[in-house]
Amino acid sequence: MSCDQILAKGTPCGDDPRWAAAKSTYRYLRLSIVVVVMTLGASLIRQIIKEGCTQGSVSAFYYTPVHSVFIAALGLIGVALIAIRGATPLREALLNMAGFLAPVVAFIPTDRPSSADAARCPIDDAIGVIPKSFIDNNLLTFMIGGAVAMAVVVFLVSRTSTPQVTKTFLHRETVLPAIGAGVTLALLWVWRAQWPASFEKHAHSYSAIAMFALVGLFITSVARGASGHYRITFFGCAALMAIGIVYGVVRRDRHYTVLVVELIETTGFLVFWIAQSVRLWEVGIPPIAPTPQLTATTN
């Protein structure tokens, strides 16, 4: 079996420099998410210290100097989640759906804090209500960008691989992501077109809830395949995120409930991501579930 065929199956290929480069790239792609989350956290802490108060949610910091970091962080996290491979079709779909929802949370901001909230903790008056045309433009171009990315993958793979490898690769790299990401974006667009009032009121919060729920399901799936202390840690992270959702439902009318829930969810995700990155540091890219068509032609 050639090294190209081994690499196509997601299996390490000895000391081949291409595998070493792929493993290194994968390591730092994973670490980039940790860095971005911590950067956002540093920006939030600096703003809280400067003003001596905190907004009612992380999303409300959109209307403060944290604005640009908040948007950039969600966009970068979304791209990284989409780029990182899931070891099974379910995990791939969950990662892609969560990845496509992350920028949506940034593109469709939460409601501007009320006058009472703004009096309690100042916001930047220069950041006003986002016009509907901005939201429409962002969503449409986001969908176009995703479609173009899929088309480029199809073109490049079809030009550089054998027909059988191309068929298998396209199934993993285009069909599976499209099931999650494509359906997610299509539903958002239909929602925006058919029920604009509901969309404007709930799109941000529902997208954030769905994103965290998908991440929680992904962590649970990974935990089921792990062992030892990693299994315990991963299930603990998933349980923490579930507790956060329950807390949000029970105390939904309290002022800082959303902020607490966001911190709980982010903590569960970050702890999992760091632990999983450590677990895979020497392994590199996690083993991909074998594809029958490819295995039959390369054994």
pLDDT given for residue 298 in this prediction: 31
Evaluate whether 65 touches 47 at the Cβ level (below 8 Å). Answer: yes
Of 131, 155, 147, the closest CA to residue 186 belongs to 147
Which of 82-86, 96-100, 235-239 is predicted with the least confidence, judged by mean pLDDT? 82-86
Q: How confident is the model at residue 210 (pLDDT cuts 50, 70, 90)?
A: very high
d(CA 94, CA 145): 20
d(CA 95, CA 81): 6
d(CA 58, CA 37): 12
pLDDT given for residue 98 in this prediction: 92
* pLDDT of residue 223 exceeding 50: yes
The 3-class secondary structure across the chain, one letter per residue, is CCHHHHHHCCCCCCCCHHHHHHHHHHHHHHHHHHHHHHHHHHHHHHHHHHHCCCCCCCHHHHHCCCHHHHHHHHHHHHHHHHHCCCCCHHHHHHHHHHHHHHHHHHHCCCCCCCHHHHHHCCCCCCCCCCCHHHHHHHHHHHHHHHHHHHHHHHHHHHHHCCHHHHHHHHHHHHHHHHHHHHHHHHHHHHHHHHCHHHHHHHHHHHHHHHHHHHHHHHHHHHHHHCCHHHHHHHHHHHHHHHHHHHHHHHCCCCCCHHHHHHHHHHHHHHHHHHHHHHHCCCCCCCCCCCCHHHHHHHC
pLDDT in tens, 129-184: 777 777 778 877 877 887 787 777 767 766 665 566 555 655 565 666 666 666 77
Higher-confidence residue of 199 and 5: namely 199
Q: How confident is the model at residue 277 (pLDDT cuts 50, 70, 90)?
A: very high
**Residue in this structure with the two tokens 């990315």, named with its chain if needed:** 149
pLDDT in tens, 34-88: 999 999 999 999 999 999 999 989 999 999 999 999 999 999 999 999 888 887 8
Two structure tokens written together for 248: 């949000």
Q: Residues 6 or more apart from 61 whose CB is under 8 A from it?
A: 43, 44, 47, 55, 67, 70
